[in-house]
Amino acid sequence: MTARLGRAAFPLFVLLTLGVYAAACFVVGRLGTVPSPQLLAGAVAVDLVVLVPALYYALLVRGRQRPAITLAPVVVLSMVGAYAVLPEAYEGVLGPFEIGVVLVEAAALTWIGLRIRAVVRAYRASGDADLLERLRGAFGAAFGHGFAMEAAAAEASVPLYAFGRGVERRDATTFGYRQRSGYASVFAGLLIGAAVELALGHFLLLHYWNATAAGVHLALSVYGALWLVADLRAMHARPIRLGARGLVVRCGLRWTASVPLAQIAEVRRLERGSYAGTDGFLDLTPLGAARYAIVLREPVRVRGPLGITRVALRLGVDVDDRERFERALADAIGAA
Sequence-separated (6 or more) residues with CB below 8 Å from residue 260: 245, 246
The three-state (H, E, C) secondary structure of 243-309, written as one string: CCCCEEEEECCCEEEEECHHHEEEEEECCCCCCCCCCCEEECCCCCCCCEEEEEEEEEEEECHHHCE
Q: Indicate the domain borders of the chain.
A: 2-111, 170-336
Residues with pLDDT less than 70, the chain: 1-7, 63-65, 119, 122-129, 142-146, 165-166, 272-278, 288, 336
- Tell me, what amino acid is at 203? F
- Tell me, what amino acid is at 65? Q
Q: Rounded to an integer, what distance in angstroms lies between the CA atom of residue 24 and that of residue 279? A: 52
**Secondary structure class of 211 (helix, strand, coil):** helix
pTM for this predicted structure: 0.65
Sequence-separated (6 or more) residues with CB below 8 Å from residue 199: none
Amino acid 334: pLDDT? 77
Q: Rounded to an integer, what distance in angstroms lies between the CA atom of residue 296 and that of residue 36? A: 72
Amino acid 100: pLDDT? 85
**Alpha-carbon separation of residue 313 from 153, 158, 281 (angstroms):** 26, 29, 6
Sequence-separated (6 or more) residues with CB below 8 Å from residue 1: none
